[in-house]
Structures are given as C-alpha cells and as structure tokens.
Amino acid sequence: MATTKRGWMIGLLIAIVAIGAMAGLAEDESWWRSCVTADSELPADVQEMVLEALVGPEGEYAAYATYAAIIDTYGTANPFPNIMASEARHIEALTSILDAYGVPYPEENPYLGTIEVPESLAAAAQAGVDAELANVDLYAQQLEAVEDYPEIHNVFVNLQSASLNQHLPAFERAVARYS
C-alpha cells in the first residue's frame, strides 16, 4: 500500500510539473523559434493577420505601450511590469515570424507615448482586462485562417493562451485589489 501511495504521489508530482511546463510555454521566450520554419512566401492575407496581431489596436505593440504608460504613471504596481515583459516576448514571437518570411513591419512601437492613461490603478487594471479580452478575440478570429501555417497557428494559439490563462486572471485580481 505504501509503495502504491508513493507511486501515486510521484505520478501526481510529475503531472503537476508537466502541466506547469506546458502552461509556461506561452511565456517561454524561445518557444516560437522552433515553430518558425518559413520556406515559402506568405500570402498577403496571412501577412496582414500577423501584422494585425503585432501592430493592430488589439495587438501586442498596443498592449506593451499601454502597460508602459501605466507603469510610467503609477510605478511598478503588479501585475503591469511582468505582463509588459511578457508582451515584449510576444512582440519578439511575431517579429520572428515576419522576419522569417521577409515581411516588413514597423520596428518602432507606434503606440509608445500615445496612450491615454486611466485615472486610477483600478481603472488601469480594468483597461488590462479589456485589452487582454480584445487580444484573445483577435486571435480567435484569426486562428482558422492560419491553419495552413502551423508555425503561425502555434504562435497565435500560445499568445492567445497567455492572454486568456495568465494575463487576464492577473488583471482580474488587480481590479479586485485596487478597487
């Protein structure tokens, strides 16, 4: 019985570590590198989707700039610095795809210095909730269209997962904390 119980506990520990590792894929700064293996031209509509994910109003540049503006105003209140760092990795994932396919993109974030900062930390946290929900929706709308490009599809799934399963809950907790 003790051996069975010990084996069960070891199995549970392995499962917890494996789940944690899988959840961490969305935030690991190198996971996309193994996904991007461009060997052909990317159709214009798919290029536009990747560019939208990077430069669009619900995209990664906008999210990064929003959190940077909030940090500039309110300091390093949680969860803004960690999520801003994550957004930088998301930007790198998308620019890696664009680089692999030779698609030009703005190297400078066009949203930096243009974001209107919410009037309180609670409102800033709610802006984070809204931004992450918009980001999740953006990827949901694009996933089917990039199915023929597994490297892009995988990146989009991972970025959507990070927004939905990590960033959104962190901002929801922050709304409760700062309200």
Q: What does pLDDT average to over the chain? A: 84
- Give the right CATH number for 2-178 from 1.25.10.10, 2.40.50.140, 1.20.1260.10, 1.20.120.420: 1.20.1260.10
From CA 41, how far away is CA 38, in angstroms rounded? 8
The ranges assigned to domains in the chain are: 2-178
Residue 1 pLDDT greater than 80, yes or no: no
Q: CA nearest 60: which of 176, 165, 158? A: 158
The answer to whether the predicted template modeling score (pTM) of the entire model surpasses 0.85 is no
Determine the average pLDDT of the residues in 8-12: 36
- Angle among Cα 163, 168, 174 to the nearest 5 degrees reads 145
